[in-house]
Structure 1
Amino acid sequence: MKEKVVLAYSGGLDTSITIPWLKENYDDIEVIACCGNVGQDDNMEDVYKKALESGASKAYVDDISEEFVTTTIYAAIKAEAKYEGKYLLGTSLARPIIAKKLVEVAHKEGAKYICHGCTGKGNDQVRFEATIAALDPTIKVIAPWRIWDIKSREDAIDYANEHGIKVKATKEKIYSEDANLWHVSTEGGDIEHLENEHKEDIYKECVTPEQACDTPEYAEIYFEKGVPKKLNGVEMAPVELIQAVNALGKKHGIGIIDIVENRLVGMKSRGIYETPGGTILYEAHNILESACIDKETLHFKQRVAIKFGELIYDGLWYSKLREAIEAFMDCTQENVTGTVKVKLYKGNIKPAGIFADSPLYDESISSFGNSEYYDHHDAEGFINLFTLPLKIRAMKEGK
């Protein structure tokens, strides 16, 4: 009886050549391709057919995009989680959902092995394997990039050509790309040279601010306990809302970043990320939150969000610490309900109105006029006490 291996399959260069390589290098093995649809702009019927044509005995192409939104994207929005202050974690957020699907298929098929096409220099190998270890530590992992003689994407293209496998990648456009509902990332090729300005024709989602719509546009986003629910007064399903906000961001040249980041595996890498809808949702959430959360909670939340982003980036979604931080984040969002109006124009997002259900901001207190709850004279005593340590230090130092 043949051993079964479930392959994390996308239909791209790396996973397409993995199927024949597995069959060439492992005796009596049955390759089952599994593609988790997290909103990437691919024809899933073509992906299914290509998997079988490349040698898989069976292929699963399952739409898991709603789970992607409601499980990891919502959590990221509530935390406003970023890695190193910039990256909105597009690839990182999808990996635990895809890896969970791989484990489910392995259990269904009775497979002892899961294979992925992640390179030996990347973060994704850790993210996949950390999730697999957390969900079923008995499953063994096959990672061809850590085994085979293929050393580069150019070698991989040669291998594909030799085996009659059609791939979109060419040696002229050697970029490594990852796309899902939340973002598109582009790495490799001439981007690896820091002295090069990245080429704008690589964009898959966005237009440049220069090419963006010449007319400003207002958008209203309604959040319920930190979760986006409505766009311009229309309630939408989770995937539908992300798609709609993405369309706004693309139109107005919002959400493009070019960063050098510190990979989990120890090296620095450069990536171009397009997150049009996510950038708008983060900013709108931040605007609403500023009126709804007290200072101490907000400041502590901002510090914890850094760790939350690192855990997601490092592939530790299924860790106890991630669960605990998310529970804290949910607690902070109990009062973050209301609508934010933003003005979108040429890559910029401008606040244009906050309509919170229960804001902590109170105009009668915050205005410069008199208030029942705040007497200007009280500030004198407060300042005396607040500055007392500074006065004592100055006296002791003889100033």
Structure 2
Amino acid sequence: MKVAIVVDWLTVYSGAERVVEQILRLYPEADLYSLIDFLEDDQRAFLNGKQATTSFLQRMPFARTRYRSYLPLMPLAIEQFDLSNYDLIISSSHAVAKGVLTGPDQLHICYIHSPVRYAWDLQHQYLLQSGLSRGLKNWIARWSLHYIRNFDARSSLGVNAFIANSEFIARRVQKCYRRPAEVVYPPVNITDFNLERDKQNFYVAASRMVPYKRMDLIAQAFRQMPNQQLVIIGDGPDLDKVRAVAAGSANIRVTGFLPFPQMRHYMQRAKAFVFAAEEDFGITPVEAMACGTPVIAYGKGGALETVIDGRTGLFFPQQTTESLIQAVERFETIGHGIRPENCREQAENFSIELFHERFSQTVDAAIQEFQPNSTLTLAGV
């Protein structure tokens, strides 16, 4: 059984890449395809040293740093991959990867992180946060997203089976594509994090600095709570914006990027992890709980499936500074009752081992449905 794995792009090691890493462990002989691959040689360990077959976008000007600007060309690019020699195609998609062309005798399973969120229900939020809410650029962006939305819906028809990374995304798949999706939660490397019971008097937030993560909202809330210490960790296009919000506040420290051991140290020692994004799943809250650290999270999206209100953290109902402030004040009152052991126990429900088990079972079921008389299973690949 010849297998191909298709991803949107390879530029960093983040949540989607962790899923690809574990799929490659299940299918070590699979060939890898990606629109672009700009990983450095010392970053390729999670791919077992594999080099992806890339599209024409790899050779476009400024593709390394401005690849998102080529979004209108991505549907055309993904359709140029010739996968006709493969029996099983697994796409890991949050943009266009599921749009690869396959034939009637090829099984295409899509692990979907989300339908293209900024082309569907989050379009208006994306345009506003990106400064594209008016003028000529607004209409160019709206046309591009309309085109992407049509491609996204059409290309869903070429997928035999969807695997969603959360119940939240399964509902979005049903809404956008009118298709069911089996839920297999992403793998979290729980063993990288040790349970720490000795907490210190500060909060921590760690994320890529992009608009939808709302790190600026967290900084704004803690500006109004000068007695509460906050450490903000991460890098990205919104870093300067977050630093500007935190400027002059003695209780907020913005570190920028930190190596993993240092970030883990803060997550283990913090009295709570603050998470303000509406996330498809959200790996970092699970990592925080693996440290025994409670999570204060925006009560929407994947966080509702990982954090247990009152047992492993608290939710705030609105994406506003006032709502977050009220949640922190509530945590200061009742947070001492949240036991680190409960947080760790909940995190273990999202381990790598469970991902392997559930993903392989789901793929085997899809193979049997696609070829009822087949004896091919994941173990036989």
TM-score by length of 1: 0.30
Q: Which protein is richer in strand relative to its size?
A: 1
Q: Which has the larger radius of gyration?
A: 1
- So what's the TM-score if we normalise by structure 2? 0.31
Higher relative contact order (CA 8 A, sep 6+): 1
